[in-house]
Every structure is written in C-alpha cells, then in structure tokens.
C-alpha cells in the first residue's frame, strides 16, 4: 500500500513542507476522529501535469473512530473519486470555508435493507502558512441532536472548535510529538476554559481523578486544584503547544496527562485534557527492570565464581612440578576463562543473547597472552562480523574456539619455529555461523584423522560441536581447503559450523 508521501508526490504538486504538515496531521488525528464520532478521509486534488485543472481527488489518509462504528470496512487510502461525486469537498476546496452537507453512500453490507444510507459530511480545508493544501472529510451516520448523550454533545462541541483550528491553520501543532502511550479519548477527557476551569469531565476521567486521590466534584475547579502541575499548564497556555506530563501518586498510581490548547484566532479559548491510567504499565516496566537487574547480577556472580575457580587452579598449578599436570591445569584455566567471558558480556549488556565478536576477541587475546613467546611471534587476525546468538551457544562455541586456537599455536608452531600468522574467519549465513581458524604453521601429520584423535582438547571440541552446538567440526591441511591462488603451501584449517535460530 502506498504511503501518504508516495501518493502526494505522485498525484499532486505539494512540496516537502506540505507533506510534513499532512503527516503531522495524520499523526495526531485519532483525537479528531474520536471526538467527532466520525471517519476521517484526507484528500488532495489530483494534478496530472503542470497547469492541469484537477477533476479528481485521491485519498491519502484514513482513520476510523474508536468511539463508534466505522462507515468504511475497506481501506480507502489510494482510492480516487471524481469531483462530481463529492460536491461538498469541492465547495470547501474552492471557497476555503468549512462546508457541512449530506450525501448518500452505498453500503453492500446492509444486506436486504436499503443499500444506501445517509451520511453527514463536514469538509474542512487544511491550511499551512495560509495556503490551502488538502481537504479533511469528516463522515458519520446522520443522528439527531436529541439522540445524543451529554458526553457526545461535549465531545462534538470540542470537535467543532478543532475543526475551526484546522481551517485556520492552527492545527496540527508544529511541535507536537505524540507517543504510542499517549492517552486516547476513550481513556478520559476533561474540557477546560481559558482560565483552566473544568467545564466537563468524562466518566473515565472522573475515575482517573479518583485514582489520583481527588474525589470531589471537578466541575468549576481549576486544574491546579485537581493535582496537575501548574508549570505544565502554564507552558501549554503560554507557548500554545501540547504538553504531556505524568502524575505519580505514591508507588502504585501513575496517570498520564496530555493537554492540547484550543485556539481561536491565535487566542487561547480552553484546552482538552486527556487522561490515561498507566499504573499497570509502569508496574510492569519496574518489574522488567528489576528482573533485568537480577539477571545481570546472576551473570556477574557466575563470572566472579568462575574467575575464583580459575584463580584457585592457577595457584594449584604453581605448586605442581610435573609438566604434564601443569599443562593440564593451564588448559583448564583457559577453558573456564572462556566461559567466564560470556557471562561477563551478559552481566554488562543483560538479555539472553550476545554478539559473539565481543567474546571472540578477548579469547584471542587470552590465548595470545598465555601461549605466544617473544622468540616465537604469532599474530592473530579476526575477519568478519560475529552474529548475535544465544548465551548457551556462545559459551560452548567459546570453549571450542579456545581449544582450536590453542591447538593451532601448540602444534602449528612448536618451540624452535619462527612463528607465523593465525586468521579467524567468521561467516554468517541463513542457518548459522561458520568459523575457520587458518594457520600457516607446520601443518597436520600425514596420517592425521580427527575422528580417531584422542587428544583431550580436540575430544572436547568434537563433543561440544556435535552435542551442544548441533554442528560439525573438520580439521584439514590448507592445501586441500580452497585451492585458490592465495592458498598457503603449509598450515591447517579448522572449521566449525554452528546452527542456531536467528532473527531474519
């Protein structure tokens, strides 16, 4: 479906500032529809070429009321209709005045009844900087005044005042940013005069005032007496802009207030105050914040406990004199530290997912610090971006890569070698992640077979890759990898493929 900007660009001569004005109108017109109990259609004349006299309208925006049934089940945006079919709109366009009238609309959903129904139409010229740029059509079923309730009559009186503001170019407000949480008409409405005295309050507004601790009759009272911030009211009236504020009462009551000034020729004549009880929403937000803090604290404590275990093992390793035992303890320390890195990231960022690149680089630094000697320089390079993955997957993959990097350093560059280069490549695909560890070292023994290798490190890597990660791991000479022109004559490539769910 085409957007407002697309339709206006394609079918009219309106400029960028005009389009911004219309988008601003659409951004705040739920209030207009609800107050008027009407469907709103925003239309612009269709101009085929420069100098062409338009004879059709195109609908560039539509909103349905939440306070009554809609006239239109189907989407009207993008539909065209001739001037002859909408004479009320044509009159508003030509005279620049608000025009009221009636029309008959065919409604196939009426079944055996008369498919035509009488519709009340109010055509409102939309102005920006004095220029008429569009027409806003209010359309509702015809209802007699005696059939209306006090609430409906109060809302319609305000609606007529806003209609006049639109025709004068005073609405929408230039600096109005309505959030998704902003109160709607159905949440509660208070109408005040130019002195901020209450002239009407809806039943839902009365309930909101009760939750704020005000139980007296609000009629004739000043908004300041009801518990609203005087500074917010003064700002709205002095600057003639909408103001949104949130009133807190104790720890369990939060009411959002949105005040929109009503203008007539630039003078403040009153305001509409919308109220919404957001207590449950704020309570849920506080609960989520508390849960997030708790989860972060758990990860922080797990990281600390793992670091404590790692420190104890290092102390134990210093007392061990057997080289094989000392090496086994050092390897265990690196495995524990690789898991601790995951929990450290989670403790900082929260949530259940981590960006693996933030874990991989500390792992590379840890292996480089522990295994690379000055007389055997080895440089590490990380290529590609790591995806965001579940914490459990990241923990297992961190251990596997620690083993593969350690294996590349110890077996690819034994003592006495000149060192070399190790490259870690990450490639993210639709089904998961592929990581390759290239080294240009001594290479693999001629009879090497990964499946029959009984080394502890590779055994751990195979077990985690097949079990926790649901992937595969391979280890082969560089010469058999790609066969490309840049392939090194020696070294090995360890590759692990990991499958996990990703956001698409």
CA distance 459 to 492: 18
Residue 501 has pLDDT above 80, yes or no: no
Q: Alpha-carbon Rg of the chain, whole angstroms?
A: 35
Length of the chain: 504
**pLDDT-based confidence at residue 199 (cuts at 50, 70, 90):** very high
pLDDT digits (tens, 9 = 90+) for 352-395: 788 888 888 888 888 888 888 788 888 999 988 878 888 888 88
pLDDT digits (tens, 9 = 90+) for 242-281: 988 888 887 788 899 999 999 998 889 999 999 999 888 8
The residue segments making up the domain with residue 498 are: 356-504
Domain-ending residue, one of 104, 134, 168 = 168
Closest CA to 176 of 187, 189, 167, 165: 165
Closest CA to 463 of 396, 398, 407: 396
Helix residue ranges, H only, 202-278: 203-211, 230-239
Statement to judge: residues 31 and 162 lie in one domain: yes
Statement to judge: residues 15 and 158 lie in one domain: yes
403 with 388: CB under 8 angstroms?
A: no
Domain-ending residue, one of 211, 242, 277 = 277
Question: Mean pLDDT across the stretch 320-342?
Answer: 83
Domain harbouring 271, CATH code: 3.30.450.20
Range in 48-52, 186-190, 215-219, 246-250 with the lowest mean pLDDT: 48-52
Relative to beta strand 189-193, strand 56-63 is unpaired
Backbone dihedral angles phi then psi of residue 278, each to the nearest 5 degrees: -110, 25
**pLDDT-based confidence at residue 332 (cuts at 50, 70, 90):** confident
Closest CA to 61 of 31, 34, 96, 23: 23
Give the pLDDT score at 344: 80
Closest CA to 495 of 409, 408, 379, 412: 408
Domain harbouring 145, CATH code: 3.30.450.280
Give the pLDDT score at 105: 74
Statement to judge: residues 30 and 164 lie in one domain: yes
Give the pLDDT score at 484: 46
**What count of other Cβ atoms lies within 10 Å of the Cβ of residue 275?**
28
| Position 179 in a domain | no
**pLDDT-based confidence at residue 42 (cuts at 50, 70, 90):** very high
Relative to beta strand 378-383, strand 420-429 is parallel
Statement to judge: residues 155 and 14 lie in one domain: yes
Residue 488 has pLDDT above 50, yes or no: no
Closest CA to 199 of 214, 215, 218: 218
Statement to judge: residues 112 and 252 lie in one domain: no
Give the pLDDT score at 178: 64
DSSP notation for 165-217: HHHHT--S-TT----TTSPPGGG-EEEEETT-BEEEE-HHHHHHHHHTT--S-
Backbone dihedral angles phi then psi of residue 463, each to the nearest 5 degrees: -65, -45
Burial class (CB in 10 A: 0-12, 13-18, 19+), 32: buried
pLDDT digits (tens, 9 = 90+) for 451-469: 777 788 888 888 888 888 8
Structure tokens at 475: 């280890």
Give the pLDDT score at 201: 95
Domain-ending residue, one of 331, 351, 371 = 351
Statement to judge: residues 300 and 449 lie in one domain: no
Range in 156-170, 302-316, 487-501 with the lowest mean pLDDT: 487-501
Place of tokens 């093992």: 313
| Position 100 in a domain | yes
Statement to judge: residues 398 and 340 lie in one domain: no
Domain harbouring 433, CATH code: 3.30.565.10
| Position 142 in a domain | yes
Give the pLDDT score at 337: 81
How many domains does one find in the chain?
Answer: 4
Range in 47-61, 187-201, 319-333, 490-504 with the lowest mean pLDDT: 490-504
Statement to judge: residues 15 and 162 lie in one domain: yes
Burial class (CB in 10 A: 0-12, 13-18, 19+), 53: exposed
Statement to judge: residues 267 and 297 lie in one domain: no
Statement to judge: residues 316 and 332 lie in one domain: yes
Statement to judge: residues 322 and 463 lie in one domain: no
156 with 162: CB under 8 angstroms?
A: no
Residue 114 has pLDDT above 60, yes or no: no
Question: Mean pLDDT across the stretch 412-424?
Answer: 86
Question: Mean pLDDT across the stretch 202-211?
Answer: 92
72 with 64: CB under 8 angstroms?
A: yes
| Position 449 in a domain | yes
**pLDDT-based confidence at residue 48 (cuts at 50, 70, 90):** confident
Average pLDDT in the chain: 85
**What count of other Cβ atoms lies within 10 Å of the Cβ of residue 486?**
5
Residue 425 has pLDDT above 80, yes or no: yes
| Position 284 in a domain | no
Statement to judge: residues 499 and 399 lie in one domain: yes
């Amino acid at each position: 479906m085409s957007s407002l900007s697309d339709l206006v660009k394609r079918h009219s001569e309106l400029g960028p500032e005009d389009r911004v004005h219309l988008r601003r109108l659409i951004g705040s017109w739920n209030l207009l529809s609800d107050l008027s109990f009407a469907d709103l259609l925003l239309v612009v004349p269709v101009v085929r070429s420069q100098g062409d006299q338009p004879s059709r309208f195109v609908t560039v925006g539509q909103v349905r009321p939440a306070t009554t049934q809609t006239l239109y089940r189907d989407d009207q945006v993008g539909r065209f209709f001739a001037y002859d079919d909408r004479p009320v709109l044509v009159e508003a366009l030509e005279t620049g005045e608000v025009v009221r009238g009636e029309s008959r609309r065919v409604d196939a959903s009426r079944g055996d009844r008369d498919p035509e129904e009488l519709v009340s139409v109010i055509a409102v010229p939309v102005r920006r900087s004095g220029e008429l740029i569009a027409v806003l059509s209010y359309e509702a079923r015809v209802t007699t005044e005696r059939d209306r309730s006090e609430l409906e009559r109060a809302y319609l009186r305000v609606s007529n005042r806003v209609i006049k503001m639109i025709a004068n170019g005073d609405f929408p407000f230039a600096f109005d940013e309505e959030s998704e949480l902003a109160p709607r008409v159905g949440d509660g409405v208070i109408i005040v005069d130019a002195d901020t005295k209450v002239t009407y309050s809806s039943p839902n507004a009365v309930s909101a005032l009760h939750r704020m601790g005000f139980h007296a009759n609000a009629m004739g009272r000043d908004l300041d007496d009801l518990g609203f911030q005087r500074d917010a009211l003064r700002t709205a009236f002095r600057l003639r802009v909408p103001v949104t504020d949130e009133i807190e009462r104790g720890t369990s009551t939060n009411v959002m207030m949105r005040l929109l000034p009503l203008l007539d020729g630039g003078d403040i004549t009153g305001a509409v105050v919308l109220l919404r009880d957001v207590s449950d929403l704020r309570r849920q937000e506080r609960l989520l914040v508390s849960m997030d803090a708790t989860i972060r604290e758990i990860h922080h404590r797990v990281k600390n406990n793992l670091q404590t275990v790692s420190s104890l093992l290092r102390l134990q390793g210093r007392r061990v004199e057997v080289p094989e035992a000392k090496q086994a303890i050092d390897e265990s320390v690196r495995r524990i530290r690789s898991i601790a890195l995951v929990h450290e990231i989670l403790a900082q960022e929260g949530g259940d997912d981590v960006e693996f690149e933030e874990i991989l680089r500390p792992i590379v630094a840890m292996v480089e610090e522990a295994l690379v000697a000055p007389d055997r320089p080895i440089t590490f390079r990380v290529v590609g971006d790591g995806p965001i993955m579940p914490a459990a997957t990241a923990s297992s993959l961190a251990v596997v890569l620690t083993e593969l990097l350690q294996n590349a350093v110890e077996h690819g560059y034994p003592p006495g070698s000149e060192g070399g280069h190790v490259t870690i490549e990450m490639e993210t695909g639709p089904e998961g992640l592929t990581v390759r560890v290239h080294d240009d070292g001594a290479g693999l023994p001629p009879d090497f077979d990964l499946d029959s290798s009984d080394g502890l490190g590779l055994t751990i890597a195979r077990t985690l890759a097949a079990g926790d990660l649901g992937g595969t791991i391979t280890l082969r000479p560089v010469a058999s990898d790609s066969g490309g022109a840049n392939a090194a004559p020696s070294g090995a490539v360890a590759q692990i493929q990991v499958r996990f769910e990703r956001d698409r």
